[in-house]
Amino acid sequence: MGKYIAKRIGLAVIILIGVSLLIYMLSMLMPADYIDNQTAAAVQNGSMTLEDVMRLKELYGLADKSFVGILKGYFTWMTSALSGDLGFSFLYGRPVTSVIGKYVWISFTISLIAYLLQIAISIPMGIKAAVYQYSGYDYSVSVFAMAATSLPSFFLAALLMNVLSIQLGWFPLQGLTTATRIFPAGFTFAKLVDMAWHLVLPIMTLTLLSIGGLMRYTRTNMLEVLNSDYIRTARAKGLSESVVINKHAFRNTLIPLVTTLSGLLPGLFSGAMITETVFAIPGIGYMALRATQQGDIPFVMGYNMFLAILTVTGMLISDLMYVVVDPRVKITK
């Protein structure tokens, strides 16, 4: 087991180095960087010259975009990153680690609740649809799953906002807190309730968009298990249907589900860029979208490396969880 984990960690390090180099090169080769975006109006009205812009780019380390210059900049960034310094955000004027640490927990809260609701709703729906294959329930949830999966996130978010917020007035339209309310300093119960009420629609959007895919995946794997010989043997032995489904069939359905569920780890921290933007939620996804649009290379690098580390961690957890859900799996290499 130890040798296997060490081998996977070594492979993960190689992957992270390759990913970081690719992201840095793509970021540096964007048509417009942060200085270009900030000085475009000044250059156009004549208050700044191109020489002034180039001096600013040299100050920010964005002047040399040749292959050798990009490699030098990458190794400088990598040296700082290995010491825990992901750089200073151009856009937010703060260390990248500080910005990520402040806003990631908003996205994590939204994604975690949506993730738990997705599991609680999708898996029972998929199991029941497989048990009652070709029934009215099966057709109904399958149509619902396909419709929910095919809807764009911005369309569903706008639809929920229009119906539940604008027309019915049940939920706030946008934001994390009510703009007209003044809360005492610090974290209070009233502020928590207000924030929770503002997060209902974003969580509902993410949940509705995600349950369809997991439901269909659960249904497909459950059908495969239900057609196995040992399930027919269990029924022939006189076991109750609930025991056959819950103890024998579902346990073996968990094996492929582990890969899917473990792979969702990066999504818990990455934030939903479109959903957070539509609802004006200051999560890490919304902050990353703004940074990308403005060419904030330090933040783009720090954010993407954060997600890359979570991705390889999720893959390792997924492999190790196979041993937990299936005792027949033995890791020897």
- DSSP class of 210: H
Give the pLDDT confidence score for residue 44 in this predicted structure: 81
Tens-place pLDDT, residues 199-216 = 899 999 988 888 888 888
Q: What are phi and psi of 95, to 5 degrees?
A: -60, 145
Q: Exposure of 227 by Cβ count < 10 A (0-12 exposed, 13-18 middle, 19+ buried)?
A: exposed
**Which residue shows structure tokens 């998929």?**
126
Distance, in Å, from the CA atom of 86 to the CA atom of 307, rounded to the nearest integer, reads: 14
pLDDT tens per residue across all 333 residues of the chain: 677 778 878 888 888 889 889 988 888 888 777 888 878 878 788 777 888 888 888 877 777 778 888 888 888 888 888 888 888 888 888 899 999 888 888 888 888 898 889 888 888 888 888 888 888 888 898 888 888 878 888 888 899 999 999 998 888 888 888 877 777 766 777 888 888 888 899 999 988 888 888 888 888 888 888 888 888 888 888 888 788 887 778 777 777 777 666 667 677 777 678 888 888 888 888 888 888 888 888 898 888 888 888 888 877 777 777 666 666 656 555
N-to-C CA span, the chain: 7
Per cent of the chain over pLDDT 70 is: 92
Tens-place pLDDT, residues 308-332 = 888 888 777 777 776 666 666 565 5
Whole-prediction pTM value? 0.80
* Both structure tokens of 47: 């208050």
DSSP per-residue string spanning 274-310: HHHHHTT---HHHHHHHHHHHT-HHHHHHHHHHHHHH
Give the pLDDT confidence score for residue 331 in this predicted structure: 57
Tens-place pLDDT, residues 83-103 = 888 888 888 888 999 998 888
CA atoms in the 13 A half-sphere facing the CB of 226: 19
Write down all domains in the chain, each with its CATH number in brackets: 103-292 (1.10.3720.10)
Give a three-class secondary structure readout of 18-52: HHHHHHHHHHHCCCCCHHHHHHHHHHHCCCCCHHH
